[in-house]
Amino acid sequence: MQRRKALGLIAATGAAATLPAVPAFGADKGQSAGITGSGKPSAKGGYTFTQDKNVKRTSVRFKNRYGFTVAGDLYVPKNARGKLPALVLSGPFGAVTEQSSGLYANEFARCGYVTLAFDPSFTGESGGTPRDVASPDIYTEDFSAAVDFLGLQRNVDRERIGAQAVCGLSGMALTAAAADSRIKAVATASMYDMSRSMSRGHQDFYTREQRQKVVDHLSRQRWIDAENGTYARLSHEVPFDEAGNVAPTNRILPQTLPADADPVTTAFFDYYRTERGYHPRSINSNTAWTATTPMSFFGFPLMANIDLLAPRKALLVAGADAHSLYYSQDVAAQVPGTVDLLIVPGADHVDLYDRKDLIPFDKLDEFFTKNLA
């Protein structure tokens, strides 16, 4: 079933359960919404994967260009000597470093890289208020700020820094690399173009009329938030009901999985809402983004300058069965010779979050070894 139908299913299954009120303007001081669902935190110290015994992990903080404090985990091979190649990592959209990006960082560090997995601004343990608002501009900046941080480490060769991102943060990583030539190579897994997704729907299914309805919905929500003095949480990918009206919910995923759930919803639920990938700070595990989040994605098209990535290279890894495959295919077709596409047989979108038997780490290592040389 297509993603647009999955969104419609979520809207129709009573997923809009009552959530705690969001603090008033200026009063949201916490580092996460932390609204706990029926999932359970991992037994691995809050991480959804096991840290390699030959890798050291350190919690770090750094500032981005806008002055926000970005929180991350620095992974370093324990027995490494000299200056090493390094990678900045983030994603998926609505996840935290204890989930998929940390797993990738751990695996690359095991292969000899210094890696930095970070929570984007406004999310997880990073700073910024209101909480859980997404910005394509600031998220793109976070990648460059992470490069700043890595390039100042004594054990990092600043001429060999790359980026690896998962799902929705992949679009920001590619955009950051196009604008920041210090990023010498970039790879993605299950890449999502969040600007295209929010402004045009899955597989660009929004009609012109529906796009206008989404804009009108977001514009009305601005008045509601201003009048209430709170930031509501609603769907960042806005679904439509059977009557053709916008039908947002205040959860990304239902609290319990319906018996007739479609494969896309089931795959996301199996990661974010179970012990496999649940985390109390993950937006996807618990709640939804601030309702007006899509506004900036309408105004900030990612990939607009992807041609500036050349002569540097990108490798996009996507599952053959992923509902998001077309995003990677379209970018690879847009800049042939610069972007290569690696399709993983038998993998869906979420499989590439943590299925180490399917994630081609050997091919990713080969790509970065060649392009960070």
For the segment 170-195, the average pLDDT, to the nearest whole number, is 98
Q: Would the pLDDT of 268 be above 70?
A: yes
Residue 80 has a pLDDT of 87
Q: What is the pLDDT of residues 226-242, one digit of tens each?
A: 999 999 999 999 999 99
* Listed range (13-22, 157-166, 213-222) with the worst mean pLDDT: 13-22
Q: What is the pLDDT of residues 303-360, one digit of tens each?
A: 999 999 999 999 999 999 999 999 999 999 999 999 999 999 999 999 999 999 999 9
The percent of residues in the chain predicted with pLDDT above 70, rounded, is 88
> CA nearest 344: which of 367, 314, 321, 313?
321
pTM over 0.85: yes
Residues 6+ positions from 336 with CB-CB distance below 8 Å: none
In angstroms, the first-to-last Cα distance of the chain is 42
Mean pLDDT of the chain: 90
Whole-number Å distance between alpha carbons of 214 and 212: 5
Q: Would the pLDDT of 88 be above 70?
A: yes
> CA nearest 187: which of 363, 7, 11, 306?
363
